[in-house]
Structure 1
Amino acid sequence: MEPLVDCVIEDVRWEALGLEALSLRAAEAVLVALGLPLQGFTLCVMGCHDARISVLNADFRGKPTPTNVLSWPSEELSEGVPGIAPARPLAGEADEPWSLGDIAMSYDTCAREAEAAGKPLADHVTHLVVHGVLHLLGYDHIDDADAALMEKHEVAILATLGVDDPY
């Protein structure tokens, strides 16, 4: 059986923070909160640095600057109607789980943001993994109704993890 989270570390600072454990805990909390099974899904979280995420941001979003987190869902689940929850993904089999997609995070940007906000880095990263997994599941924040729905889920999920409301 494949693990829920495959963690790829491109910057060793992520190892000291425990990105793999933080990502697994956050991803499981999202699935539980949304009533999805913990088996039958996989996702990949890559921990990198500003130089790498700047290239990814340029390639995929046309913005050649660093950012905290990027996500690439395997399937578009959004219903396309503002404020409406996305379609629920169907879990794969234990021996052939369904990939939710990929998330990339920059240590440099996450650390700067956490320090500026006076938050523990682990809490900020946990928030961003929750945020990224919700994106993989079709949630977005392009318009106000979608942002309100996504933020409501983020705050509730983070509360189950003992992380303060980031908003």
Structure 2
Amino acid sequence: MTGTSTARRHPRGALALAAALAITGAAACGQQQAGGPAVSSTSGSTPGDGVTPTPGTGTAPSSAGGSLTVTVDDGSGGTSTWTLTCAPDGTAGGDHPDAAAACAALTAVQQPFAPVPKDRVCTQVYGGPQRATVTGTWGGGEVSATFERTDGCQIARWDRVAPLLQPGAPAGAGSSPGPT
């Protein structure tokens, strides 16, 4: 009877350990998505996705500001295109429906267009068919970035700059795709 009792403890112990590891992994993933480095919208990053470093610095300068063209495909055939200018002094312009919020969201993120590391593990959660492309300049570097909602990392990246891609949406986790 003690053998049966021991046999029952191992599966429960293994199950408890697996559950604890899953919770720990999800918590670590959530911390990365909420405050970690920005991620790319494609599963494999490409050299042209993100901000081209300024010569001699290795990274884009910290002074935010630039001129961007944003094209959002809502996934059902509707496409919207806006221009956005953000001056380092906080002045926002262009025909973006909520330019001030879009500029504020971009300046709040250290590297809003950086690609996802190829070895990043992301939750396999589908957030919708929306897709956006952003081109232009930001922080003195060239921008060519794509945003999608194809997994947890991509959704978190979209949500961090949601006011840029979805005028009226709040920046941060939990933004829903809604109409653009």
TM over 0.5: no
TM-score calculated relative to the size of structure 1: 0.26
Structure of greater Rg: 2
- Greater fraction of residues in strand: 2
